[in-house]
Amino acid sequence: MSGGVDSSVAAALLKKQGYEVTGVFMKNWTQPVETYSKKKYLCWIDERRDAMRVAAKLGIPLLTFDFEKEYRKLVVDYLFREYKAGRTPNPDIQCNKLIKFPLFWKRAKKLGADFIATGHYIRLRRKIPNSRLFIAKDTAKDQSYFLWPLTQNQLKYCLFPIGDYLKSEVRQMAKKFGLPNAFKKATSGICFIGEVKLREFLKKKIKEKPGKIITTEGKIVGRHPGIFYFTIGQRHGLEISGKKPYYVAAKDVKNNVLIVAEGENHPALYRKEVELTNINFINPTYQIFKLKVLARVRYRQPLAEAQLIKVEPHKFKLVFNTAQKFVAPGQSAVFYGKSGELLGGGIIS
């Protein structure tokens, strides 16, 4: 229970269905961070207080699992390493893969739990021999993009109570249950850390390394403080001007050069083929050499038709029917069946 309305309603629904529910707040980051409002903020204190209020209302116990040491090592250090290498990592996916599901379940199981439940917007359909995951009823809130690393062994003990509801319905249920956070605004930013100024956060571990900004035609148009602080498709923060806005098209890590394209529809901003590593298939039966899929390379990007092709034992490529915009190495490409089934995903290399 994060303190947000989604996990709160998930707990309320499970209790109503007859489960013996114990709330768990995960304390993963306690360091103050500089937010966009220019304030030093301790995100976890307010969130835990909200979770406590909800638990009291529901009449359930609330435990706190402290995974700060593991989170720092497996998620935050990973984030710094990836940015330093010129890639754009997704800490939310890394957290789900290495913290939220494996460590959370291990601790809960020791305490006698049969299942763990979260407030993710995704639909789980249990089947023998394999369970299946589907895009949530609320496609605008669907979080399947962040859950592609899940395995069949994990799905055996997972529950996702709100996947069959719209966000508006979840809000209505929170009000009906009398939850104190029924109208709390949704949070964003880095998982468990908050709405931080990313460049300032990265500067804590990655020193500035100024270099040239050049266009795709080779013209020098400015200087950057460090290519680590930018991602493919980024427009703001470049501090350069032209007839049209400039967008980051590529990063030359070896030569410390940021390559930009003028205009949001420049051909350099599109890719038709995407190479993938660290592939995971939710359902092992889909591990074949060529498969027609619907895929996205960014969260909330419309699904696009593509072919998933096996190149090597642990390497695949997505070949899209139509070129995709702003493909960033380090991010995830996630693929689906026509029925909305989440088939799996991988890291863009």
Q: Is 158 a catalytic residue?
A: no
Please list, in sequence order, all residues whose beta carbon lies within 8 angstroms of the beta carbon of residue 138, skipping any fewer than 6 positions away.
121, 165, 166, 167
Q: What are phi and psi of 11, to 5 degrees?
A: -65, -45
Please list, in sequence order, all residues whose beta carbon lies within 8 angstroms of the beta carbon of residue 306, skipping any fewer than 6 positions away.
292, 293, 294, 295, 318, 319, 320, 321, 335
- b/e sequence 104-120, b meaning 16+ C-beta within 10 Å: bbebbeeeebeebbbbb
Catalytic residue among 13, 95, 108, 279: 95
Rounded Cα gap, residues 223 and 216, in angstroms: 15
Q: Which residue has the tokens 């795709």?
A: 216
Longest dimension (CA), the chain: 66
Fill in the DSSP letter of residue 298. Answer: S
Rounded Cα gap, residues 310 and 100, in angstroms: 29
Rounded Cα gap, residues 199 and 228, in angstroms: 9
Rounded Cα gap, residues 167 and 171, in angstroms: 6
Q: Which two tokens stand for residue 70?
A: 């593991």
What DSSP element (H or E) covers 230?
none
What DSSP element (H or E) covers 204?
none
Rounded Cα gap, residues 96 and 91, in angstroms: 9
Distance from the first to the final alpha carbon of the chain: 34
Catalytic residue among 191, 227, 258, 328: 191
Q: Is 191 a catalytic residue?
A: yes
Q: What are phi and psi of 212, to 5 degrees?
A: -85, 150
Give catalytic residue positions. 95, 191
